[in-house]
Structure 1
């Protein structure tokens, strides 16, 4: 039976964020007309070179799924609720779905295009639906981990996780205003989305390190 060690699955969580960030930064730098301050990361999946971002979503989603499996194993062994870890698995499925379905043009990319709600494609609707798994799932998962860290008497980690979730929610709201074409926010929708995603990926990476250091007996299995 195919088996991947918990340690390797936690390492997958550490790799996911840097890979995702490096990919969109490099891809965005060479895409004509793409402005990272204004346009969504998902817009890089549109067009002839869009396969790079699509594959990035798929690979990173699989890495995050592995990370969530590692957390499920560890938390089960400790008799702790795995609800938060399962929500992270849902976030991973969201990323995979975002890679399978291309988003619609937004905020002027590509070629100055913007898709009205009434003109959205099936692919664009599905992309947004799967993306919502991440943007809604992570804050809920984080609050569950906030409780877990509280039970472990890890007050610093509990407070950091709560702060991460609240910051994620705030920046996601501002992002939504930008992509919703609210005056004064449109030009910076992409920037706020990048901040939102970075908050998430930093938390994933740090939690990976936490469990690698604190739960060596389980991790080595």
Structure 2
């Protein structure tokens, strides 16, 4: 009487290869959104800035693009960019687990993501001649959604500034002086640019300075996401 053949061990990994670590794979994927969010937001904003009638990069901040018949594009841009930042914050929480800064860095980055989403949901008031037909100068009256836009944006920016400084402190504790200096400079420069735009001035130095600060902040988020991505072992390693 013949005996049935033994079933093949399908669960065994191929020779010389280790099974994929799903936790690591998800963590690295989430951190990837921290790299994508900034370029996505900047490119979408710049395309609108150079194609929409009446918009002046030297005198209008990008939040004003949420107004007008094509305002939905910037609204979607803010919401989607914020969602990507939130995904990156979850990735940071996973990547930093058990290390200095593991609680507050992800929370503060997540606060920035929430601020972006809410800034998209609550549209800024038209001002400084944009959209076309709007009187020159700041808005004479602030609507409820304009007020909430300012509050959400301000809270989000302060969260990211704090995240830069907390990450700088973490880096210093770990002996990473270069990262500590870079994070501190990023946070301070963004804070200065934010302080300038809160003055309400639409002068070129203030508006362009704020735009530069936003670019610096996005670059910092991307750089930190890349660092943590590289520090997280590959799933099959």
What is the correspondence of 1:1-221 to structure 2 with a 5 Å cutoff? 5-78=26-99, 80-110=101-131, 111-113=133-135, 114-116=138-140, 119-177=141-199, 180-181=200-201, 186-216=203-233
May I ask how many residue pairs the two structures share in their alignment? 211
Is the Cα contact below 8 Å between 2:190 and 2:210 reproduced in 1?
Answer: no
Distance 2:102 2:92 in 1: 10
Is the Cα contact below 8 Å between 2:33 and 2:87 reproduced in 1?
Answer: yes
SS at match of 2:198: helix
SS at match of 2:214: helix
Bigger radius of gyration: 2
TM-score using structure 1 length: 0.89
Shift of 1:109: 1.5
Is the Cα contact below 8 Å between 1:93 and 1:133 reproduced in 2?
Answer: no
Is the Cα contact below 8 Å between 2:85 and 2:109 reproduced in 1?
Answer: yes
In terms of fraction of residues, the more helix-rich structure is 1
Backbone CA RMSD of aligned residues: 2.0
TM-score using structure 2 length: 0.83
